[in-house]
Structure 1
Amino acid sequence: MHSFSQILFEDGYFISTSNQKIDCLIKNMDWKRNPGEFEYKLTQSAMIQTATIETVKEFGIGGISKYIRAIVKIDRSSDNINSMSSERNPVFHEERLFLKVLVEGEASLFLYEDKNLTRFFFKNKDSEIEQLVFKRYRLNNKIVQNEYYKQQLLNNFESQNLSSNDVRYIKYNRKDLEQFFIKANNQTGTEYSSYNSVEKKELFNLSLRPGLNVSNLAVQNASSDFRNVDFGNKYGLRLGIEAEFILPYYKNKWGIITEPTYQYYSSTKSETKDISGGELISEVNYQSIEIPVGVRHYFYLNEKSKFFVNVSYIFDFSSNSSVEFTRNDGSLLSKLEIEPRRNLALGIGYKFKDKYGLELRYLTDRELLGSHVQWSSEYRTFSVIFAYSLF
């Protein structure tokens, strides 16, 4: 099995409704939501086929994930404040679902996720699969919780030498419930399996990102064009430090990024104008800290190489920045303080060994003079960014 986080076909199997076990290659999507179908191939060169919950009762990928088909009663009550119910008890509906197996043994734990819904199910010995009940609801303009799952655990596993102390502080999350079910199996000395998807070891990356900006600034005055200036393209250095948070599903192909960056732009332009002295000198000095916040998506080539694209929304904070117009004798005609607006950044890049990277980034037009009546501006930047991951 490949160790890098690419969505690919991996060794697996499924059991049909006629109880036939078929070894195959399954497209591992590292599903955030429990699937209702999956794609598979009988061999690496064979055609891609689709298997559905209608025809499959169980499937698994290596030793890292397993799903079983079950008809269960599930409560889909919303946790959204605007649509939250005032009913304390769960509202069950019978559905046929693929449940993700988390712990399998005499005491088994299952997971179902769909959009913003997370539900855990359990089975003890030969009992039917049952939902562990946790529900938020409204009571007297407050949000309270029905934590009946704790009583369910106590009722069903008291014979495994587990007491109220073992369930009192258990939260309705994967970590706590997995630990409880593993303990329940250990208490009886029965064998069990625990399924944990292989995920990227580091879900947080920190990188130094120096680079080169090619920037252009043009300013316009709506009432008089004699101070309209195109300052032209200028090269400038930029230095950023990027924090990247990898989302722990979809094979680690999505991330949230932020990159505080220092950048500057400086230019002077002299033009003959009909003013005292006959010459207008326009000068801009603009330095700021940009804070882009965005999302990134990876496209894996092999174990060492991957491309990525990202889009960010940029907050920009300038300091000691202005556009000045002076006469040739040095006297000040006018001065405009720079107060930048927000804009977008679009990037495409390449990463090697999760250590070295290169990105080409285009920034949409940024308004620098929006607070000045009669003035407008267009600040454009194209960046070549080099990256070195610290961890």
Structure 2
Amino acid sequence: MNLFLRLLLILAALPCFSQINYESGYFITNNGIKTECQIKNLAWKNNPADFDFKLTPEAEPQKGLKKGVSEFYVNGYKFVRYDVLIDRSSASLSQLSNRPEPQWQKEVLFLKVLVEGKMSLYEYKEENLVKYFYTTANDGKAQQLLYREYESDGSIRKNNAFRQDLYNLMKDSKSPGEFEKLRYEREDLVKLFRSYNGDTASATNLSGATKGALHIKVTAGAAIASLKVDAVVPGYNYDFGGKTVFDIGAEVEYILPFNNNKWAVFTAPYVESYSAAGTNQAHAIKVEYTSVNIPIGARHYMFLNDKSKLFINAAYVLGINSGDSYLEYKSNFTTKLDIGNFPNLSLGAGYCYGPFSAELRYGIKRQLFNYSGRNASYTTLGLLLGYKLL
């Protein structure tokens, strides 16, 4: 077990040394000079304050700052710097204002381009803050589309001024009904701006940005399972040692749509059966344990190239008995203890090549029961193989 934990710590440190994705892009300085370069693509979830670039693939990294850069682009992500007035009102219940009016403050921001055309749409995200801005062909100044939630007389109310503002800007080709139920969300706003711009529109970040993906795989493996019974009363202790168990199951994984698809959540139900017997100075002892295990966890990938990657994961595992699971003591009489449904945690580290995967997985100690003065701890260490169907 200690060897596995050391391996896991080594793999956890690999993101610091794994390949950094510098991709072809450009930036434009304040005086309008465009520089083709390699930009570190972080698949930004939040808008950046700066970015890293290399003038050539072999060059040392440099930092691009807002004060000197007006625009930069890499693989579908385009950010433009603007001096803006921003209302940072929060939609969090604990931070709601009691004022419907915006509270503007001046800031210099890199805004993410969502749609470009005769009227362009931009997004600014920062943790739980999401604000949208626009520019027109006649006025290159970025202005915020105002949406503000506030508290009044114990109720949550909404200032939807952005609907009226957009109607005033687009009424030459849009009807009032198209704005009545318009949501202050990316999907609705992108659809509206693309429709208004017609053939001149482009949704810059939606083509190149990472997207979520659902994967399904079948899994099978083997593990060394250990069961140890500890009791206050002598004669009821026993260590069954390591036994080989076989696992078969399936996994559903969702790749999260940010940070270059390096993070995922998953569930991977599998069935496992453990059977062992032995004797101590007082009893013949037998255990039968079959469980349906349902891990629910998170995974981090470290890409080596287009086909192969390392990963580490951790999961909370629900252990549900399937059939008759018990621990039995037999001497002059028989004592049978039922095994309950108890959770545990698991840690894993592995490697993927194409649709194939191999994972070393450690099931941290699970208590099978907890009778007064007596408990049983169950651990596993095994190899799990998988094949991705989707």
TM-score (norm 2): 0.90
Q: Is the 8 A contact 1:100 1:112 kept in 2?
A: yes
CA distance in 2 between partners of 1:312 and 1:140 (Å): 44
CA distance in 1 between partners of 2:154 and 2:20 (Å): 45
- Secondary structure at 2:306's aligned position in 1? coil
Equivalence for 1:345: 346
Query: Which whole-Å deviations, capped at 9, do the CAs of 1:164-198 have from their partners, x for residues lacking one?
Result: 12222322221211111111112xx6x33320243
Following superposition, the deviation at residue 230 of structure 1 comes to 0.4
Equivalence for 1:60: 73
Amino acid at match of 1:84: L
| 1:156–1:381 distance in 2 versus 1, CA, 3 Å | same
Q: Where in structure 2 are the equivalents of 1:351-370 lying within 5 Å?
A: 351-353=352-354, 355-370=355-370
Gaps of 5+ in 2: 1-18
| Alignment length (residue pairs) | 369
| 1:199–1:13 distance in 2 versus 1, CA, 3 Å | closer
Amino acid at match of 1:193: S
CA distance in 2 between partners of 1:76 and 1:135 (Å): 9
Q: Is the 8 A contact 2:51 2:65 kept in 1?
A: yes
| 1:201–1:193 distance in 2 versus 1, CA, 3 Å | closer
Equivalence for 1:203: 213
Following superposition, the deviation at residue 91 of structure 1 comes to 2.1
- Secondary structure at 1:226's aligned position in 2? coil
Equivalence for 2:376: 377
Amino acid at match of 1:326: K
CA distance in 1 between partners of 2:210 and 2:53 (Å): 24
Decide which of 244, 264, 267 is 1:258's aligned counterpart. 267
Q: Is the 8 A contact 2:116 2:203 kept in 1?
A: yes
Q: Is the 8 A contact 1:7 1:251 kept in 2?
A: no
Equivalence for 1:18: 31
Amino acid at match of 2:278: K
Q: Where in structure 2 are the equivalents of 1:1-391 lying within 5 Å?
A: 8-62=21-75, 64-127=76-139, 128-159=141-172, 161-186=173-198, 191-195=200-204, 196-199=206-209, 203-222=213-232, 224-273=233-282, 280-319=283-322, 320-327=324-331, 331-332=333-334, 334-353=335-354, 355-370=355-370, 372-391=371-390
Following superposition, the deviation at residue 202 of structure 1 comes to 6.3
- Secondary structure at 1:369's aligned position in 2? strand
- Secondary structure at 1:227's aligned position in 2? coil
Query: Which whole-Å deviations, capped at 9, do the CAs of 1:225-284 have from their partners, x for residues lacking one?
Result: 2110101111111122111111101111100111122112111112333xxxxxx11111
Identity of counterpart residues, as a percentage? 35
Following superposition, the deviation at residue 143 of structure 1 comes to 2.5
Query: Which whole-Å deviations, capped at 9, do the CAs of 1:135-155 have from their partners, x for residues lacking one?
Result: 222233333322221111101
Gaps of 5+ in 1: 1-5, 274-279
Equivalence for 2:12: none
Amino acid at match of 2:372: V
- What is the aligned-residue RMSD (CA, Å)? 1.7
Q: Is the 8 A contact 1:369 1:377 kept in 2?
A: yes
Amino acid at match of 2:376: S
Amino acid at match of 1:52: L
CA distance in 1 between partners of 2:212 and 2:201 (Å): 28
Q: Is the 8 A contact 1:124 1:156 kept in 2?
A: no
Amino acid at match of 1:101: V
CA distance in 2 between partners of 1:103 and 1:199 (Å): 13
Query: Which whole-Å deviations, capped at 9, do the CAs of 1:35-73 have from their partners, x for residues lacking one?
Result: 0111100111111111111221111114x1211000111
Equivalence for 2:16: none
- Secondary structure at 1:149's aligned position in 2? helix
TM-score (norm 1): 0.90
CA distance in 1 between partners of 2:210 and 2:70 (Å): 29
Q: Is the 8 A contact 1:305 1:352 kept in 2?
A: yes
Q: Is the 8 A contact 1:103 1:182 kept in 2?
A: yes
Equivalence for 1:276: none
- Secondary structure at 2:58's aligned position in 1? coil
